A and B are shown apart, each in its own frame.
Chain A
Amino acid sequence: MFQDSDTLVEEKPRGCTRAVGMLKAVRGGKAKLRVSKDGTPEAHWVACMQAIHSASDRKAFAELFRHFAPRVKAFLVKSGADMSMAEECTQEVMAIVWRKAALFDPSRASVATWVFTIARNRKIDALRKQRRPEPEELTWGPEAEPEQADIISFQQESARLAKAVAALPEKQRVLVEQAYFGDLSHSEIADSTGLPLGTIKSRLRLALDRLRHAMT
């Protein structure tokens, strides 16, 4: 099963502005940043995605594969897949990365986030045997090519978020990881760790507050 009901209900959005701050949309306005330095790993993965999309570049794909496939496999095993299923699903996830390369928008998601969403959907399909309803694509009129400045500022935001996640205190990081990678409700995490449910909820909240704070 999933979250116990009180966990889901408890936190009403407190004037939603607070939540949006975590990774603000960086399109337009003063958020535009000048190109400072290039060659960040994220810029490299974005270049690989573009090479796959525009030139069916197998070398770029091999690079992405070597980096992301072992991470996706670990994610699937932590989520309850056995080794052979995780191996098979990871190959399918990476094949989808290739096929859907055209849909990747570097001004809206990092490559890691995009790979995560594909892996998550495969997990729901293969492990939980459920469909995954996805929101409708919003149509904003003709889709313009994302601005380079947007892409770069988004990459900087992603890098900050990754740093903030890495800097979380161990206890909080473990809980965030369990919330994402496990298939346990908060009360099941309470059972398996022996921690009171209240402690788990407050640690998760602390972790998320810390991430938001790092992004503002």
Chain B
Amino acid sequence: MTIKHHLTEPILMAYSAGTLPEAFSLVVATHLSMCEECRARAASYDAVGGAMLDGATLDMDEGALEATLALLEAPVERPIKADVPADAVFPGPLRDYVGGDLDAVQWKAVGGGVRQAILPTSKDASVRLLHIPAGMAVPDHGHRGTELTLVLQGAFRDEEDRFGPGDVEVANEDLTHTPVAEEGMDCICLAATDAPLRFSGLIPRLAQPFLRI
């Protein structure tokens, strides 16, 4: 897999610092599962975090060590690892949120042959899987906040470039684009946005019929 479009520095740093909303972290973790290069960059940011840890200290309570050793006596629940299907389409972190691989997704039609599935995360941002039939254009849509779109299968093109499996497009409100899924294979993407979900009337719905928000 040749990945051309990578995560930005600020996103990797925020992921490492732990300040990204869960929806964005899911896209980052999924991309890192596919991209060695960004994984190495993320490890660099973790290393900076480790170096920063060596600044301030705060005394622990009396008896903290003994209390911690007592914690070790408690039995540990071991998470049961699900078997990874040999031909899995989704990387591990995404399978965790879907509750399975591609065949477990509960799609809902959103018009124009496009289907989506919103995944459960914290409310400060949202993340969805999108299924765009080959050759189909997604209507023009602007972005009200930051949008991260990761291609899992197939490819799309927009005014900016071509995005294939593993590629991630980072867009903000300045970008209005018309992504078109390439011929040949349906395109499946994971897209996160921190735009506030507004249901305040007809106009936002008409403005963003594609995302239904």
Contact = CB atoms under 8 A, between A and B. Distances in A.
A114 B47 CA distance: 9
B100 interface: no
A205 to B, nearest CB: 8
Interface in B38-54: 38-44, 46-54
A94 interface: yes
Interface stretch (B28-36, B129-137, B176-184, B199-207): B28-36
B61 interface: yes
B54 A112 contact: yes
A16 B6 CA distance: 8
A179 interface: yes
Nearest to B124: A1
Contact of B44 (A20, A135, A137, A181): A20
A149 to B, nearest CB: 19
Contact of A180 (B8, B49, B71, B124): B49
A138 interface: yes
Most chain A beta-carbon contacts within 10 A, residue among B28, B30, B61: B61
Place the interface of chain A in its size category.
35 or more
B52 A5 contact: no
A208 to B, nearest CB: 7
Contacts of B57: 70-71, 73-74
A48 to B, nearest CB: 14
B65 A62 contact: yes
Contacts of A123: 18
Nearest to B11: A8
A161 B54 CA distance: 12
A95 B16 CA distance: 22
Mostly, the A contact residues are helix
A70 B117 CA distance: 44
Interface string A64-99: 011011111111011000000011001110110011
B33 A8 contact: no
B53 A13 contact: no
B55 to A, nearest CB: 7
Contact of B50 (A66, A94, A116, A166): A116
A136 B91 contact: yes
Give the secondary structure class of B's interface.
Answer: helix
A37 interface: no
B64 A69 contact: yes
Given A70-B59, A87-B60, A165-B52, A120 B18 contact: yes
Contacts of B68: 65, 69, 91, 94-95
B97 interface: yes
A158 interface: yes
A175 B81 CA distance: 39
Contacts of B173: 5
B55 A177 contact: yes
B155 interface: no
Contact of A8 (B8, B39, B65, B71): B8
Contacts of B96: 133
A98 to B, nearest CB: 6
A116 B170 contact: no
A8 B54 contact: no
B213 interface: no
Contacts of B19: 2-3, 179, 182-185
B122 A13 contact: no
A23 B44 contact: yes
B46 A109 contact: yes
Nearest to A3: B14
12 contacts: A8-B146, A8-B172, A10-B10, A19-B41, A65-B65, A65-B68, A66-B65, A73-B57, A117-B46, A136-B92, A180-B52, A184-B19
Interface of B: 6-14, 16-22, 24-26, 28-30, 32-33, 36-44, 46-61, 64-65, 67-69, 71-72, 76, 91-93, 96-97, 121-122, 124, 145-146, 170-173, 194
